[in-house]
Amino acid sequence: MNFQEAAAAVADLAKDLRLRQIDLLGFRFGAGVALELAAARPDLVRRLVLVAAPPMDGLPVVKQESLVLRIKLGVGDDSQWTKAILPQAKFIDLAEYDADMFDAAPRTLAKQIGAFLNA
């Protein structure tokens, strides 16, 4: 399954559930799916929370408000392409947590994500 197929499946699920708008949280592959869906269906996706997003070539600018939690900084990080694709993104650098951030600081992450989604 690729990003486009997964995004289509999420869109179908939202339609089946009769959801008019959704907020998406994507981790790694899921972040790519969220970006793909936001680009393809801006009417459906309200906000994005992206964690460890993979490089995405060929996406148009995604205009939804986005929270990007970056865990890998420096060589190979996602700062260059994400800033170009997500002009309305808020970036939070969490390099100290590396890949264990959901285990290391779940309450901190929940507060940051909740504040963003409820703003």
Judge whether residue 4 has pLDDT over 80: yes
Number of domains present in the structure of the chain? 1
Residue 9 domain boundaries? 3-118
**pLDDT tens digits, residue range 21-34?**
999 999 889 999 99
**pLDDT tens digits, residue range 53-79?**
887 777 888 999 999 887 765 545 555
Q: Report the b/e string of 79-113 with b at 16+ CB within 10 A.
A: eeebeebbeebeeeebeebeeebeeeeeeebeebb
Q: What is the CATH number of the domain that holds 87?
A: 3.40.50.1820
The contacts of residue 106 (CB under 8 Å, 6+ apart) are none
